[in-house]
Amino acid sequence: MSNSSSGKNIVLGVTGSIAAYKAADLVSRLTKSGHEVHVVMTKDAQEFITPLTLQVLSRQPVTTDLYDEKQNWHPGHIELADNADLLVVAPATANLVAQFANGLAGDTLGAIHLATLAPVLIAPAMNGKMWQHPATQANVETLKSRGVSFIGPEEGLLACGYEGIGRLWPVEGIEAEIERLLAEKS
C-alpha cells in the first residue's frame, strides 16, 4: 500500500504539544520521499494543528477518533496497526510516553500501539522538568526495554520560556532516523 516500490507505510501519531505544527513538515517530507503516511491525532493535538492540514499533506484521511470508523466492518485502528511498517509519534508528550509504557488503549493512538507489531519511534517534546521527572524517565526505560526507539529531545529555548532539554528533535533528524529504521527492517 505504498506510493512507490521503496515507499513504506508509516503511521504518524501527533500529540498535544506546541511542536505539533512541525508534524506538517515531517508528513510533507515523508510523502515526498514516496512513503504512505497515515496520521493519527490525539484530541489535544487538534488544539495546535488541524487534521485538514495533515490530510492534505499526507493525501490520506486523518484518524482523530477511535469511534469514527464507519467506512466498513473492519476497525480502522487495527488495519492501521496491521499495515504499519513503522509507528512514529512526533511530537510525543509525557502523557503519551506514560500511556504507551502502561499499555493504555483509551484512544486511537494507544490502541494502535498495542495492536501493532511494527517498530516504534518516539520523538518527545515537553517541558524539561517533565522530561527529567523520574516517572517520565522510568516510562522511557520501560519502553526502551520493549524495543521502542527514541530520538531526542534536544536542548534549547522551550515554548514555556525555559532554556533546557525538551525540544522536539529537528524534523530532518527525525526523518533520517525513520529512514534508518525502515532500512534496518527491510
Instruction: For the chain, give every domain's residue range.
Output: 9-185
Query: Helix axis angle, 94-101 relative to 134-145, nearest 10°?
Result: 50
pTM: 0.93
Say how far apart CA 88 and CA 162 lie, in whole Å: 26
pLDDT digits (tens, 9 = 90+) for 124-170: 999 999 999 999 999 999 999 999 999 999 988 777 777 888 899 99
Say how far apart CA 178 and CA 10 lie, in whole Å: 9
Residue 104 exposure: Cα atoms within 13 Å on the Cβ side: 11
Establish whether the linkage from the previous residue to 153 is cis, with ω within 30° of 0: yes
Positions annotated as catalytic residues are 160
pLDDT at 172 over 80: yes
CATH tag for 9-185 (out of 3.40.50.720, 3.20.20.210, 3.40.50.1950, 3.30.930.10): 3.40.50.1950
